[in-house]
Amino acid sequence: MNTPMLEERDREAEQRENKEARARAEHFAELLAPYLAAQFGYKRNYVTLGLVTTVNARTVKYDLYLRVTPQRGQWAGTNCLVIARIGFTPTHKGHGRRFMAFLVEYAERVGYSNIGIESTNEESEAFGAKFGLLRHRDGNDLIGTVEEIKRRIAE
């Protein structure tokens, strides 16, 4: 049975966690915007913040939805940047590889040591396998360490 004092401490801890998570997401969005602008030739910033840990970026050339180190759900305790949606047009032109290189380059600055892909399909599973991502728990999610992904990119 929780006492009011314990419940208050839990709420404060959760608020602190959410504030830190939001700061990581904001920092990541600040890094992502110039990367996408340079890669795809846009002058306008198409990167937006979603709920607490999410970052969105969508144009006709790319569609990204990321969770920056979520503390709850299936990714809790993984210290992971999660790719919830990824798409580039045209495909098979190296955009995904360059994006993964960007993610490993900034991992330490944002504060994640793993990269995951959520709810994979055949294409995203093959994409993740190229970088050494493995099945995460019992679902159709993949996860890999930044170090392993960095090693695979260098090959």
The pTM assigned to this predicted structure is: 0.90
Mean pLDDT over the full length of the chain: 92
Looking at 2.40.50, 3.40.630, 3.90.660, 1.10.3470, the CATH number of the domain 4-154 comes to 3.40.630
Q: What digits encode the pLDDT tens for the residues 43-81? A: 999 999 998 899 999 999 999 999 998 888 888 889 999
What pLDDT is stored for residue 51 in this prediction?
87
Instruction: Check whether 138 has a pLDDT greater than 90.
Output: no
Instruction: Check whether 1 has a pLDDT greater than 60.
Output: no
DSSP structural state of residue 42: -
Supply 36's token pair.
């996408």
Residue 90: Cβ within 10 Å count: 7
What pLDDT is stored for residue 14 in this prediction?
80
Per-residue pLDDT band at 137 (split at 50, 70, 90): confident
Q: How far apart are CA 114 and CA 111, in angstroms?
A: 10
Go through the chain and tell me how many residues it has: 155
Q: How far apart are CA 30 and CA 95, in angstroms?
A: 19
Q: Which residues lie below 8 Å from residue 142, measured CB to CB, with a gap of 6+?
A: 116, 117, 120, 124, 125, 128, 129, 133, 134, 135, 136
Per-residue pLDDT band at 93 (split at 50, 70, 90): very high
Q: What is the DSSP string of 89-129?
A: SSSSSSHHHHHHHHHHHTHHHHT-SEEEE-S--HHHHHHHH
More confident residue, 7 or 152: 152
| pLDDT (mean) for 127-151 | 94
Give the rounded distance of the alpha carbon of 133 from its chain centre. 14
Q: What digits encode the pLDDT tens for the residues 6-51? A: 788 888 888 888 898 899 999 999 999 999 999 999 999 999 999 8
